[in-house]
């Protein structure tokens, strides 16, 4: 019998691919919108308008990953905080969770690294700064609570939408819309990470470690609290699976009850 990790390695690689694509997109649109030599930057002078466009681009990127064939198969966590939360909920096995988290960190590093290889000087420009997420002028305390809040809301929405038969197929749209809104409105406080692997990928390339602890603590605490509240209201049985998109016939490696409960929606 093959080892468990060998059976599920395609899903691990898909998780790495997903966050890698997200980071390539973040770097690319960060360059287009923030580098002073970019025509897009010159055409859109207002910082809020540029954040809106960045949010739109990254929200659509997230939605595309969730609804891609590989996103449907891996579940498109793309975030160690989300994987840890589903581990606590009992929807993913410990070994799978460990490999998912390793894959997510690898994907973040590789995604930024690819852009660095091609456009190092441009990505290093102070206006782009390797699209790092660092505490803004409001300080580390504000950044921590901002990251905590957006992570809590994201997980609360994911759990409530994905576990409703009539809404489950739209979970990716809800999640992508939150990403867009967060970048538009929350980014001035913490840079909008919500994801330790996303922050680490940029920080490693830039060698900027300011406030790294914020992005390694606030997102998992926020998502775990959201899961705890959900369980208090609906019980652990109310969580059917760890995928953001269940209505497909891709393999599911999680402790999944969705197909059994909702066969007519597949």
pLDDT, one tens digit per residue, over 250-265 is 898 998 876 555 544 4
Hey, what CATH topology would domain 4-265 get?
Glycerol uptake facilitator protein (1.20.1080)
Choose among 91, 107, 111: nearest CA to 257.
91
Q: Where are the domains of the chain?
A: 4-265
**CA gap 167, 251 in Å, rounded:** 21
**CA gap 156, 152 in Å, rounded:** 6
pLDDT at residue 236 is higher than 80? yes
User: How confident is the model over 231-248, as a mean pLDDT?
Assistant: 90
The model's pLDDT over 50-89, given as tens digits with 9 standing for 90+, comes to 999 999 999 999 999 999 999 999 999 999 999 999 999 9
pLDDT of the residue at 27: 97
pLDDT of the residue at 257: 75
**CA gap 57, 184 in Å, rounded:** 11
pLDDT at residue 218 is higher than 50? yes
pLDDT of the residue at 249: 85
User: How confident is the model over 203-208, as a mean pLDDT?
Assistant: 95
Q: In which residue are the tokens 């060998």 written?
A: 6
């Amino acid at each position: 019998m093959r080892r468990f990790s060998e059976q599920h390695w395609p899903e691990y690689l898909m998780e790495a691919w997903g966050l890698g694509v997200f980071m390539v997109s973040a770097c690319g649109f960060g360059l287009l919108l923030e580098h002073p030599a970019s025509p897009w930057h010159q055409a859109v002078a207002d910082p809020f308008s540029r954040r809106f466009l960045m949010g739109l681009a990254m929200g659509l990127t997230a939605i595309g990953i969730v609804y891609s064939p590989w996103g449907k198969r891996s579940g498109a966590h793309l975030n160690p905080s989300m994987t840890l939360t589903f581990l606590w909920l009992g929807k993913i096995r410990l070994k799978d969770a460990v490999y998912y988290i390793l894959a997510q960190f690898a994907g973040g590093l590789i995604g930024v690294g690819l852009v660095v290889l091609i456009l190092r000087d441009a990505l290093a420009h102070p206006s782009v700064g390797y699209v790092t997420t660092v505490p803004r002028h409001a300080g580390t305390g504000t950044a921590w609570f901002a990251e905590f809040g957006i992570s809590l809301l994201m997980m609360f929405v994911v759990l409530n939408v994905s576990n409703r038969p009539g809404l489950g197929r739209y979970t990716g749209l809800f999640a992508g819309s939150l990403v867009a809104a967060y970048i538009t409105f929350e980014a001035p406080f913490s840079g909008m990470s919500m994801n330790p692997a996303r922050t680490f990928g940029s920080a490693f390339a830039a060698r900027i470690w300011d406030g790294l602890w914020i992005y390694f603590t606030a997102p998992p605490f926020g998502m775990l609290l959201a899961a705890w509240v959900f369980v208090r209201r609906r019980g652990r049985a109310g969580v059917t699976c760890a995928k953001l998109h269940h209505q497909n016939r891709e393999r599911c490696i999680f402790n999944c009850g969705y197909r059994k409960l909702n066969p007519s929606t597949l």
